[in-house]
Amino acid sequence: MKKYIECIIVALLCSWGAAAQIVFNENLPVDPHLHYGILPNGFTYYIYPLPGTGAVNLKLVTKIGSVVENQDELGLAHFLEHMTFEGTKNYPHDSGSKILQAYGLVSGSDFNAATSFDDTQFDIKNIDANDSTMLLNALHIIKDWACNLTLEDKAIDKERSIVEEEWRTSHDYGQRLADSLCRSLLHGTQYASRFPIGSMKIIRNFKPSLLREFYRKWYRPNLQAIIVVGDIDAARVENEVKMLFGSIPSPASAPMRKQVAVPDHKGIDYNLFVDDEAPSSDIGIFFLHDKISPEMMLKKECYRREAIGLLSTTLLSLRLLEQSSKAECAYSSATCTDGAFLIAKHKAALALIAMGKEGMTAQVMDQLLTEVRRAQLYGFTADEINRAKRYFITNVDNQLKEVNTLKRTDYTAALVDHFEGESDLCGFETSLRLMREIVENHVTADDINSYLRTHIKADNVSVSISGPKKDGIAYPTKQDVERRFSAIFSSTPPPYEEKVRENPIVDHTPAAGQVLESSRDSLSGITSLVLSNGMRVLLKPTNFKNDEIRLNGYSPGGYNVYKGTHNIALRAMNAVIEGSALGNNSIAMLEKQLLAKNVSLYFNITPSKETFVGKSGNADFETMLQLLYLYFTDVRKDPQSFNSVKSNLASQNSQIANNPSHIFQDSVTSTLYPGYIYYKDLLPAEIQSIDYDEVLQLYRERVANPGDYVFTLVGSFNVDSIVPLINKYMASIPDNGVREVKMTPTPMRHGRFTNAFSTPMATPKSTIDIEYFGPMKWTTQNELMIDMLQGVINDELNQKIREEEASSYGVKVMCDINETMPVFVIACSFDTNNEKKDELLAITRKYFKSLTSKGVSQEQYNKVYNQQVNQYYFGLQSNDFWVYTLYLRTLGINYERDLNASLGTMSNLKFNLFIKSLRLNDELTTVMEGLPKQQ
């Protein structure tokens, strides 16, 4: 549980209170709610009841990944994962998938699988807890995945092409960088040569008997576990699990599953990876050390060690963050962590990770190491530690408030960690309270300040630098790296000087406005307010989270108001405003002040509107409204941050220019919106010419009329309690009386148009995007049917292109209606090999023509209808659903009422009439063909 708690907390710190006595050598308790055991055949089970959640998740974990493969088996562990959905003894062919889909589960999101270096995991999620037959069927299906794959020759041969298309799709810059890191920094281990996707030569040519032998050899009960989490009768499910999984036979003899050890090394290992398609310059410095032993991981002492490490790395991260706001800083972002070394399960590393500005990787390394050296020599100040303590306390207390609202996936992930020797079983609440107590009272300043001194040395270090391959950009050699380490670790930089001025966020008391109109919908519990400055606020109290308030707001306007003018200032606005001062606080000062608060708020301008998105805990709701007040009334220049923003923009836009994914997305945009200047990346000369005064003038125009804005608040609040704060910070915002009531649409291309082009690629492939547009009024029923249509198209196009043609890893589909403009969009995209692009494009076009003339079958209708019912049922129990619902209320749409009614009256006849009414006259296609690069 501890490992997963670290991810939730992110950072730690201590402060006050009487110390409780902790026996650190004592074993951690086991969560009393957990049903856990190992069956006689070696199969492990975890069953955790979460009453009232209405659903159940299943996960099968097999401790078999690509590291167990022999040289002639490269890729077979991953290939087996694919074959899970191609037939088992009791569920031949794809009948298991069809059963799950008939229950309304969606392939990919509700049931799926994944293979890594060390394991393979299979999921079936969102099973209706009220349907015992559904849960039993899911358990039988997942049991068959564990031991009864049929692995038929024909199915294997078909899947070879699909796996190769997955390789083609995934073998981008990111994957090539990962491969390079593993080969270089994990050399001499299985991790260096056992990438899960495998060797395409082997995938094309292995004999089916080899795959069957691999399955027989490794898929065995002593390497497997079933995890069941959700609204269940745990004792009854435990009996079912024992009966089903206890019957899996154990092989008489089987190879030992050995752990992959990563040895220490002398000096510095260095990996330099430059690539034409690199979208960024990344620096990683890894100081290797041993992981906490499995035995120690089950003791309370483990939490004390982790607390010291997390606190120390958090403090260093905060120093790196402070530097990043300066224009002379060579990186745009940086952090310090301590955890697994790359993908190795049994080696740890304290890591410094940074995204550097183009051509400045050597300077980044110098700046990172200098901050580490400074912390080694002088430690951290009392104020830093106290601030970090408050940060920890805030994070832990926030998580404690939400323990009973954690998701099923949170519990499942923690139990996977235990099965794989990465964590304990004491449970979230016990973990959080123990960590809080240890950091509060059992971690000293000496513990923190000695941590970096003992963990960071110029030995047993691995360094990774990667970035774009361009003329004029030089990267450090290994000798350069070694010289820099030697010079900096023998240097004496000056001590850290903290410059924090504790200004109040709002330095005056706003003259409160008032609520002019108030009404409440008793059925939905939604309250509507009209404030004295014209602003509208809709409020929906919920209990899905114990300490979460979501704020969203928008106003008609956006780029399109300016009709192509001020294009540089408007394109830079989001980045510049995010880096500007609020009131008397620079962005650096504000970040420190907000560190121990559970609050965030962001402004964004789009083509047709301005938006604010925020989130806070109950205690920090007033802070969120104070920030909103300042965004409307007192955004000021922050010259240092502005220079840093320009520097970061220039570096970012230069580095992504040759990345195929960016090139393709930019081309899709130009296909859909020809000549639309506001979507274009800022060029270097444009970035340098950004006028701060012009940006602020335009921004102030966008927020000068709060009466144009509609805000929604969803979450854990009482309406009467927060209305005084709304009057103080929202109704008080001065209004200029101007109103922009209409959202101006972005001009689109019409007719049938294809933008086909080629570009050099390291791994050539073709990428296709085809989009249809047409007139359609937004209604709740139309949105329901367009969502159902997305499910239909996703199933049928993937069947045709992935399964039948075996020429793509998968088709992505998106269908939507614009709620403010009467237009629908149907979009699909996929990768394929160059030889198949024209054929697959023709198949896609033919499919859409057939779809709108013939409609869909009753079976297909039933499947997507049940999916929508499931989504509606689970959506009602989330803040996300109500955020969207309240947004639609601002447009005069009673979504939750109308959706329930539409589901009740939906039929296959009505759905097919809808499909046949679609007019696909506007067809906009983008085709990118990757060409081999000239060597």
Q: 83-87 contacts: CB < 8 A, separation 24 or more?
A: 83/149, 83/151, 83/155, 83/156, 83/159, 83/211, 84/113, 84/122, 84/145, 84/149, 85/113, 86/150, 86/152, 86/155, 86/158, 86/159, 87/149, 87/150, 87/152, 87/155
Q: Are 748 and 874 in contact (CB under 8 A)?
A: no
- For residue range 913-925, list pLDDT tens digits in order: 999 999 999 999 9
- For residue range 266-321, list pLDDT tens digits in order: 999 999 999 999 999 999 999 999 998 888 888 899 999 999 999 999 999 999 99
Rg (alpha carbons) of the chain, rounded to whole number: 29
Distance, CA of 873 to CA of 55 (rounded, Å): 10
> Is 70 exceeded by the pLDDT of residue 451?
yes
pLDDT of residue 935: 57
- For residue range 854-892, list pLDDT tens digits in order: 999 999 999 999 999 988 888 888 999 999 999 999 999
Kind and range of the H or E run holding 310? helix 300-324
Percentage above 70 pLDDT, the chain: 97
DSSP alpha helix (H) spans, 496-597: 567-578, 587-593
**DSSP code per residue over 255-276:** -----------SSEEEEEEEET
If you average pLDDT over residues 696-724, what whole number do you get?
A: 96
- For residue range 59-87, list pLDDT tens digits in order: 999 999 999 999 999 999 999 999 999 99
Q: In what order do the strands lie in the sheet with 120-128?
A: 35-38, 44-49, 224-230, 55-62, 120-128, 111-115
Q: Are 232 and 319 in contact (CB under 8 A)?
A: no
pLDDT of residue 641: 93
- For residue range 725-756, list pLDDT tens digits in order: 999 999 999 998 888 777 788 889 999 999 99
CA distances 504 to 385, 509, 622, Å, are 21, 11, 13
SS (H, E, C) 416-451: HHHHCCCCCCCCHHHHHHHHHHHHHHCCCHHHHHHH
The conformational region for residue 379 under phi > 0 = left, psi -120 to 50 = alpha, else beta, is left
Measured between alpha carbons, how far apart are the two ends of the chain, in Å? Answer: 50
pLDDT of residue 12: 32
Distance, CA of 909 to CA of 122 (rounded, Å): 36
If you average pLDDT over residues 824-844, what whole number do you get?
A: 97
pLDDT band at 501 (very low <50, low <70, confident <90, very high): low
DSSP alpha helix (H) spans, 490-566: none
Which residues fall within 8 angstroms of residue 218, CB to CB, at 6 or more apart?
62, 64, 68, 77, 254, 255, 257
The number of CA neighbours under 13 Å toward the Cβ of 193 is 9
* Coil vs helix vs strand at 853: helix
Distance, CA of 924 to CA of 841 (rounded, Å): 12
CA distances 789 to 513, 591, 785, Å, are 47, 44, 6
- Of residues 20 and 641, more confidently modeled: 641
Percentage above 90 pLDDT, the chain: 83
Cα 575–Cα 325–Cα 581 angle in degrees, nearest 5? 60
- Of residues 736 and 344, more confidently modeled: 344
Distance, CA of 74 to CA of 70 (rounded, Å): 7
pLDDT of residue 743: 76
- For residue range 158-204, list pLDDT tens digits in order: 999 999 999 999 999 999 999 999 999 999 999 999 999 999 999 99
Q: Which of 839, 815, 673 is nearest to 766 (CA)?
A: 839
Q: Are 218 and 63 in contact (CB under 8 A)?
A: no
DSSP class of residue 361?
H
DSSP class of residue 683?
P
If you average pLDDT over residues 411-428, what whole number do you get?
A: 94
If you average pLDDT over residues 394-406, what whole number do you get?
A: 88
> Is 80 exceeded by the pLDDT of residue 5?
no
CA 920 to chain CA centroid, Å, is 34
Q: Are 116 and 103 in contact (CB under 8 A)?
A: no
Which residues fall within 8 angstroms of residue 415, CB to CB, at 6 or more apart?
46, 48, 227, 229, 425
pLDDT of residue 319: 93
Distance, CA of 885 to CA of 907 (rounded, Å): 24
Q: Is the pTM of this model over 0.85?
A: yes
Helix, strand, coil % over all residues of the chain, rounded to 5 = 45, 20, 35
If you average pLDDT over residues 461-485, what whole number do you get?
A: 96
CA 825 to chain CA centroid, Å, is 25
Distance, CA of 839 to CA of 843 (rounded, Å): 6
Q: Are 901 and 890 in contact (CB under 8 A)?
A: no
pLDDT of residue 8: 40
Q: 302-307 contacts: CB < 8 A, separation 24 or more?
A: 302/2, 302/28, 302/424, 303/2, 303/431, 303/434, 303/435, 303/438, 304/24, 304/438, 304/442, 304/443, 306/2, 306/6, 306/435, 307/12, 307/14, 307/435, 307/438, 307/439, 307/442, 307/443
> Is 80 exceeded by the pLDDT of residue 605?
yes
* Pairing mode of beta strands 515-521, 549-556: unpaired
DSSP class of residue 802?
I
